[in-house]
Amino acid sequence: MIYESIRIDFNSDEAIYMQLRNQIILGIATSRIQEGDALPSVRQLAGMIGINMHTVNKAYSVLRQEGILSIDRRRGAVIRIDADKLYALEELKEDLQVLLAKAFCKNIEKKEIFQLVEEIYDSYQVSDL
């Protein structure tokens, strides 16, 4: 993955460590990061992006807690896609409930949502062919 491509919006109301976490997850989904890959060290990535070491560390910690990163002392931070789908599904459902409720308020039809999901999810699928 080209870590220089990571862009942080410092004017955003979203926390930097959350933006970083999201971009890493997106990087995995788009296969720019692959399972087993080692991420840069917290100091390296912090230097690349231009933020503090602890901010990167927090993003890694969140990803580790979510079961996406596995931080090995010798290999560094490694992508680990395991299968704790049970909790992930529960979490996804709660997030979708709020998201779809607003979509419903905006008169966005189910067909349009299906199209969106299809479009986005397929863009993740194709990339590891």
Binding site for its own copies (CB under 8 A): 22, 25-26, 28-30, 66-68, 81, 83-85, 88-89, 92-93, 95-108, 110, 112-114, 116-118, 120-121, 124-125
CA distance 52 to 43: 8
Site track 43-82 with DNA (rule: CB under 7 A), x = hit: xx------xxxxx-xx-xx---------x-xx-xx-----
Which amino acid is present at 101? A
Host H or E run for residue 23: helix 16-29
Choose between 74 and 106: whose C-beta lies nearer to its own copies. 106
Contact 36, 78 (CB under 8 A): yes
Select the binding partner of residue 44 from its own copies, DNA, none (C-beta < 5 to 8 A, by kind): DNA
CA distance 53 to 113: 39
Q: How far apart are the first and last CA of the chain?
A: 17
Interface positions with DNA (CB under 7 A): 13, 15-18, 40-44, 51-55, 57-58, 60-61, 71, 73-74, 76-77
